[in-house]
Structure 1
Amino acid sequence: MTPEQSVLVERVRALIPDELPVREVSMFGARSVMVNEKMIVSALKGGGLLVRVDAERHDELLARPGAEQAEMGPGRDMGPGWIEVAAEAIDEDQRLAFWVGTAMDYNREAIAHRPRDGVTSRSGPMRR
């Protein structure tokens, strides 16, 4: 993990309530912060942030300073609900808090609509 990622992960963790289950995992070539087993953000190598948001708010959030469509690679959009925020746009704690709060809002919504154990939303019971 780069020094920028380490600092960013610590700043993100400081914004998450202590009572929530939080863990870190490596994914997308970054260090991701998971809450309730769902990714909220990933600290990117250059100090930017990949943020998981409500797809219905995607266009609105893209209009914010430093926000752009997240890509899996050149020309490969990750789709609505995935936004990359430039390091310069989250250098102040208040700006970072906005993005973490937005991701947490989506996380709560996703958890509330999580399928029951053993059931997927489209295919019925999971096959083993």
Structure 2
Amino acid sequence: MAYDQGLAHRLTEHFESYTDVETKKMFGGLCFMVCEHMCVGIVGDTLMARVGPDNYLTCLNEPHAREMDFTGKAMKGMVYVTPEGIDSDTELARWVGICESFVRSLPPKKPKKKK
């Protein structure tokens, strides 16, 4: 599945001054990893937002947000935001801010074991 290149460019610009962000192709789309934790991503033209369990219900009540049901089952702490919900850079930055705050509250990832 292709992902929205315009949204990818907007997110890349948002994170361009960060030293702890990398992009990875995942889920047929693109994910932005902050401190090695998935923060936001793009699936098609939709923002995949990792808002965390404490923000989940509040975010679901936002216009243009819905459950992330990528696997057929809702993933708690993850929502999809349609393009209408991130039309402006201000709205996109607000969603990214929610996700980034949650991800930065997580403990550091343990180093992967070498094989």
TM class by shorter-chain length? Answer: 0.7 to 0.9
Distance 1:115 1:91 in 2: 33
Question: Is this contact kept in 2: 1:20–1:36, CA < 8 A?
Answer: no
How many residues end up aligned between the 2 structures? 114
Give 1 or 2 for the bigger CA radius of gyration: 1
- Cα deviation code 1:52-104 (max 9, x no counterpart): 1121110011111100010024x4212x1100000111111111111111111
| Amino acid corresponding to residue 26 of structure 1 in structure 2 | K
Out of 27, 46, 50, the position equivalent to 2:48 is 50
1:107 paired to 2:100: no
Q: Between the two structures, name the one with larger relative contact order (CA 8 Å, sep ≥ 6).
A: 2
Question: Is this contact kept in 1: 2:21–2:34, CA < 8 A?
Answer: yes
TM-score by length of 2: 0.85
Q: Which runs of 5+ in 1 are unaligned?
A: 119-125
Distance 1:20 1:58 in 2: 27
Distance 1:52 1:117 in 2: 22
TM-score by length of 1: 0.77
Q: Which runs of 5+ in 2 are unaligned?
A: none
Question: RMSD between aligned alpha carbons?
Answer: 2.2
Distance 1:30 1:43 in 2: 5
Aligned to 1:123: none
Out of 81, 86, 102, the position equivalent to 2:82 is 86
Q: Residue 56 of structure 1: SS of its match in structure 2?
A: coil
Distance 1:117 1:32 in 2: 20
